[in-house]
Structure 1
């Protein structure tokens, strides 16, 4: 038997040369990973871990996710630099709180910018110049009211909120994009500047253009907003087509990557590879 040690003759490829995005998804999530990858351009890659969560989707159960978030973030490419971190649950952000989620993730990834569907959605609505909005969710009324309160607290006038009444997030991804579009048209107040569609489990990205055409106004969805906001945090200014008016907004220099432009410290011991 001949045993050989062979070495590549070419330099190793740079995996994700335009940016590495870490996603903490729910253990029951069918949708967000493949949905986000539809948005991201070549050169930007998504790397995922999962955090345990439990149904039904009550605020109490959503809050119970919090202790697992740091550990989930630690499991994404340990020792490798990430450029942006995403916590992938809109309702979970409502229940746990944006600030606490950022703190929990930064225990594992100090210095890395963090976004959530709620934060990204609010920033997206602001970028589109909205002041009056309607909300469509798959949730029950108690979660819907919390969501409306969050947008109101951020300066928006919530004209209407409609929910699909799901208590099991595993079923939400099964809602047809055609039904999402029909529900969007029914849910949006004629006086609203735009419609926000909440929940990373909903396949709203497949219907955004159709909904905008039917409504004649912008639509922001959870996963669309995450993709848009995380790309802005990377400093990416390329064009993304077929996913709604949000991606047509001019880049704001102030939202360019904190990690790249301010040279924030990377994780202790992290490799730049």
Structure 2
């Protein structure tokens, strides 16, 4: 027998305790017959002004425990709904981190941001990107270096300067619209937004209409990649071109 509410797919989603954007945005993206099951990592609201190292360390200690809290409901895949650890040590660190997540999930497929962004940007055939982050300059540098080392040309980076993980969810849609306008230009093929506590899904979908190019947001790309990797090919309108056309 299959799950009565999620007969097509059950998605496990891991988020930091401070994150209030992943869950509602990914709930909005669910096709019929797909259910989400969220597990929270026990993380504190560390100051980003004092540095991101403490935050990254706390994520590493709590991620596997959160995955273990989801696995008993027998999801079909796991989405890792956070970013800092992924970018902090560069592309070469991604493979071992991903493998550790899969091991914690008992071998289930695991979706993380680098794989999702790479898959989406390949669909758009985009290599020159502008990036929006929620971070202060030290975090912006790590994100920019990650994408550059992954083979992209990072034309511009706009950090939103959030002082703590919880404050990231306070970024307004007006601020996000201004950020898109600031970093866009004829030299940019796609805009990428990292940071899963930034609620940018609606702004990104609208922005694509007035700039005429892809705006790839962290939560949308993670969920899109998990669906497509799981064989769910539904085209969903109203959430941007990625889910509507790819």
TM-score (norm 1): 0.82
User: How far apart, CA to CA, are the structure 2 residues paired with 1:36 and 1:167?
Assistant: 25
SS in 2 for 1:23: strand
8 A Cα contact 1:29 1:169, kept in partner: yes
User: How far apart, CA to CA, are the structure 2 residues paired with 1:240 and 1:13?
Assistant: 23
Verify: 1:41 aligned to 2:31, yes or no.
yes
Verify: 1:240 aligned to 2:231, yes or no.
no
Q: How does 1:96-175 map to 2 (within 5 A)?
A: 97-175=93-171
Determine which of 26, 45, 68 is the counterpart of 2:62: 68
RMSD between aligned residues? 1.8
User: How far apart, CA to CA, are the structure 2 residues paired with 1:84 and 1:77?
Assistant: 9
8 A Cα contact 1:22 1:76, kept in partner: yes
SS in 1 for 2:196: coil
> Normalized per residue, which structure has more helix?
2
TM-score (norm 2): 0.90
Verify: 1:215 aligned to 2:206, yes or no.
no
Question: In the alignment, which residue of structure 2 is the partner of 1:83?
Answer: 76
Compute the displacement of 1:210 (Å).
1.6
Q: Per the alignment, do residues 13 and 139 of structure 1 end up closer, same or farther by CA in structure 2, a change over 3 Å counting? A: closer
Determine which of 214, 220, 225 is the counterpart of 2:221: 225
Q: Per the alignment, do residues 12 and 148 of structure 1 end up closer, same or farther by CA in structure 2, a change over 3 Å counting? A: closer
Question: In the alignment, which residue of structure 2 is the partner of 1:256?
Answer: none
Q: Which runs of 5+ in 1 are unaligned?
A: 1-10, 251-273
Verify: 1:27 aligned to 2:17, yes or no.
yes
Runs ≥4 in structure 1, deviation > 3 angstroms?
none
User: How far apart, CA to CA, are the structure 2 residues paired with 1:28 and 1:242?
Assistant: 27
Compute the displacement of 1:37 (Å).
0.9
Determine which of 169, 175, 181 is the counterpart of 1:185: 181
CA deviation profile, 1:163-182 (whole Å, cap 9, x unmatched): 01112121111222122112
Q: Which runs of 5+ in 2 are unaligned?
A: none
SS in 2 for 1:240: coil
Compute the displacement of 1:146 (Å).
1.1
CA deviation profile, 1:201-231 (whole Å, cap 9, x unmatched): 1110021122112222110000010111010
SS in 1 for 2:157: strand
8 A Cα contact 1:84 1:233, kept in partner: no
User: How far apart, CA to CA, are the structure 1 residues paired with 2:63 and 2:86?
Assistant: 12
Q: Per the alignment, do residues 188 and 53 of structure 1 end up closer, same or farther by CA in structure 2, a change over 3 Å counting? A: farther
8 A Cα contact 2:13 2:36, kept in partner: yes
